[in-house]
Structure 1
Amino acid sequence: MPVGDGATLLKRRPDVRQAERHLAMSTAQIGVATGELYPDISIGASIGTTGLIENLGKPAANRWGFGPLLNWTIPSNGSRARIHQAEASAQAALARFDGVVLNAIRETQTGLAQYTALLDRRDALKEAEQSAKEAADQTHRFYQAGRASFLADLQATRTYTDVRAQMAEANTQVAMGQINLFLALGGGWEKDDVAQK
């Protein structure tokens, strides 16, 4: 079974990771929309030559330029509306993230409860298998000694075989329950260094 902090284990789930990345993107869009309220300043430079072919390379034909470029969109209702839209998108992404996390917790709790119940059933069947084996062995000894009928010996052996079949089925169900629990926890079979890559 995977061991560790529940939050860390749930973070490995692909659906939780996807919702977390979507939330991060949505909150970043608020910053982008807010950044559009401020001026955009850039500095540029250019070098070149102009003139007739015979004047190329002479100082009179060379030119250069250097200077800042200021680009600013005056804040308007449209800019503020984009900020509000980005905030609303972030709230929707947060609600989706909360829903995904709650679903992951529900699946994990359900998986744990089912796995525990399957382990308890298997333990009970182990005891029943041991009792059925002892009863079948004792009935067979009684049959060999002439104190029990063949039908009683056959019935005890059949009961033991039925319990063994139930035990095999219980082992399969425990393995499937463990797999479902691993999936609910977002893995669990990987080493930590592999999971981080």
Structure 2
Amino acid sequence: MAVYFHEEDLPEGVLADGPVAVDTETMGLVTPRDRLCLVQISDGKGDEHLVRFANGSAYDAPNLKAVLADPDRIKIYHFARFDLAAIEHYLGVEAGPVFCTKIASKMTRTYTDRHGLKNLVEELLGESISKQQQSSDWGADEINEAQRDYAASDVRFLHRLRDVLIVRLEREGRLELAQACYDFLPTRARLDLAGWADKDIFSHEG
């Protein structure tokens, strides 16, 4: 098990076939304003890869883009809505098809309102992760070891969480409904980017 750090692109051929876990780190929560600094990706075999983009990056990254845009690879996220928007805005690709562990959690763990990644890892996998570096400066010239470990942990558990949550979705008869939500997420992300992040266009209000 290792964490690999790369500048500007993912080396070719470092990921096994199959689903990949994906996460992003940005300078803030306003996607067009707060630049994409890091993309984390893992094939679930034990290693995590961190791709860092420096200030002024052209976001070329052909190898990373090829993986993210591959229609035959499921991309596993926790809160896919945000990551999809950041990836599309800065890398110019739709990073689907999607499985979102936060949506799956909300559709199966209806006995709680605690759907953060830390909560899921603790309850469903019996492990713990630290969120201490969540609000750190991802645009710094150097990404320190604590930041790297935090970033890697955001994709380290997603394959295992997906396996558990699929069983729960099947148990509750909500697998197809969840899939329909995942399929809509790229559009939801584009609505966010287009200015409808805080407006429920499906609501009767207004």
TM-score by length of 1: 0.22
Q: Which has the higher helix share?
A: 1
Q: Which has the higher strand share?
A: 2
TM-score by length of 2: 0.22
Greater RCO between the two (CA within 8 Å, min separation 6)?
Answer: 1
